[in-house]
């Protein structure tokens, strides 16, 4: 939505308009890009043409393939904590959204592009930067946690160009025991996928 983006960002950024359902409409946005962050997500409740299969899987796959073809140095994808749980309640509510997000992750890993997959806990609108951030790996099923959207954005930005974040998948949540984030410690605790 170019007018909405223009209202939010003004002339600070160059905007490219594309549709993830039509990869050719997005190709020019990837040319010359070093880094790409995707926080793509379907909203099938409001728009039936944006089903999770089309957006969370198909759109993510297209983004990964375009990033690889354009020589992007790193692709950061925002997914979701709980995607590996086939019985996740959101699968029943939202057309198997978690299963399709997982398929999108798999497409990123298979694309050949260097990637970072961030799986946030439940998203909140609280202000970011007021507490620490905890990371874990393996998509644990016994954790109920939240994280401000602004903190997820901060994690994505901090991952750019950081070798310890390359080819990793991890969950992020608020760390109520800390009042700040030590990015070196946070990313240093990660293990590469398949490693």
Distance CA 128, CA 170 (A): 19
DSSP conformation letters of 23-92? GGGTHHHHTT-SEEEE-----TTT-GGG-TIIIIIIIHHHHHHHHHHTT-SEEEEE--TTTT-TT-HHHH
Is 25 annotated in the active site? Answer: no
Q: Which of 38, 42, 80, 111 is catalytic?
A: 80
- For residue 133, count other CB atoms closer than 10 A to its CB: 24
Residues 6+ apart with CB under 8 A from 89: none
Encoded tokens for 184: 């070196």
Rounded to whole angstroms, how far apart are CA atoms 114 and 75?
Answer: 6
Residues belonging to the active site:
80
């Amino acid at each position: 939505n170019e007018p909405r983006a223009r209202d939010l960002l003004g002339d600070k950024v160059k905007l490219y308009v594309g549709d993830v359902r039509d990869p050719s409409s997005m190709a020019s946005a990837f040319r010359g890009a070093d880094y790409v962050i995707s926080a793509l997500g379907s909203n099938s409740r409001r728009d039936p043409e944006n089903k999770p299969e089309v957006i969370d899987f198909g759109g993510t796959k297209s983004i990964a393939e375009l990033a690889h073809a354009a020589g992007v140095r790193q692709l950061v994808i925002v997914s979701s904590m709980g995607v590996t749980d086939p019985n996740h309640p959101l699968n029943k509510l939202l057309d198997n959204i978690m299963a399709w997000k997982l398929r999108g992750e798999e497409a990123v890993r298979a694309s050949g592009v260097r990637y970072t997959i961030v799986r946030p806990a439940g998203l909140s609108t609280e202000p970011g930067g007021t507490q620490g951030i905890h990371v874990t790996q393996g998509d644990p099923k016994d954790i109920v946690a939240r994280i401000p959207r602004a903190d997820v954005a901060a994690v994505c930005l901090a991952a750019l160009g950081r070798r310890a974040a390359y080819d990793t998948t991890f969950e992020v949540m608020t760390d109520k025991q800390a009042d700040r984030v030590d990015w070196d410690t946070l990313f240093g605790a990660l293990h590469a996928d398949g490693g």
